[in-house]
Structure 1
């Protein structure tokens, strides 16, 4: 049943998250923050999927408990990627100095993540998660695992479909679409054992789309940061923005080229995931209710 499967998966994700915590606190390696962030995001995604089984209110309370650490790791991740994006934008000594000065902000953000952990933010969230999982699932809420998995993935796919016509210059829209693809990817990965082949086949394109949209997001964040920078002279700022815009155009081209096999490279909107029709009329009715 879906309830038992979700409990097992959530405990596995909790273990994976905690395995990364000592590495984060000790700054043991460059991937520690990334690994912890991914584990938390997967855990929160699975809690979102679990609303119909555990109840929306309880699931969302636990999700919110992980939000502060998630937000802190997100700010740090954005800063790390920002520095990578800006480093080679232009070969100008003044700009290099400006980028170098941002290292102070990165250190502060890293310290903030560690401080949140040391102050018990994760411990409190994990305690709430354990409380949620220790109670037996209400039989009236539980569902057959296969149907639950298909319904969940279909719901994520529909969200992508709903947002897919965003214009390539709509920065916020592309960001929201990236999150939708990420949710679709995670739902397939986390429920793969219970999914039919046609649903699992969406994993590869969802992963590719998320990656390409992520590359666009990174350069859009860089453009926004430089645009708002008060300490950069106008001429230098314009030079950097021009270079970043060229980078964006290249990434847009790469993105559209990746999508060409789906017949979408000729359009200026983000294409759809391939349709995955339900296997039976009963499945269609059930998915429609999801």
Structure 2
């Protein structure tokens, strides 16, 4: 399965009454229907609909359409009806204006709180009141479905870019682990030898009041305990295991964002431990480079569905 980003955008438009979304726009008294969908990253699926009153009844249908395809992301769907009357703005006749004025007076005599007709209302009525259609449902469903496919294509394209970036970062992290592994036994032995030398120097300065064998045993025990504290082999092993799991998930694709986010946290924890245990400048540098790469991965993973 492909890796999907939560970031994407798509739009579509159809000539009302044509029955063919994305048809070549043409002048018509029926108007045109437009839909656009945009999405950004979010922990959960958060849907927002911006619909005119004429389409608000179709929100449940649109919600069902989106939830069937999308699992995470902050998604906004906008729909609009654009008048397509030939010649642009219509020129209402005097007779029509008189009739509208009479109807308004009649209605307001019974409903005093009803608002007055606006210029936009008059122009819409003069154009045939195209937005008062009650059969937008099938056309809206078809156009929204095609626009959603466009959004999925956009999210898949962005997801492929993120997957490639993650693969590159995984390769660089593996290279850093390979650099660190040979340093671990050398570091442990070096610290043990250095600790024993200092202990022997201290014993010589004290006049040898402690029996030599006892002093040496104690020095070795403390050197061993210190070596264990600075041994980062276990952290490097866990880092390698997490990197393998991340690569497996990226190749698998699908809904992997939350699992990747958890693994990135684990990578960050191991890199922090590596840095805190580091007793050499080289291991410190490797730990810093790891944390930089892991932070870059964390930012990208937050955009994956």
TM-score above 0.5: no
TM (norm. structure 1) is 0.25
> Normalised by the size of structure 2, how large is the TM-score?
0.24
Higher relative contact order, structure no. (Cα contacts within 8 Å, ≥ 6 residues apart): 2
Larger radius of gyration: 2
Larger helix proportion of the pair? 1
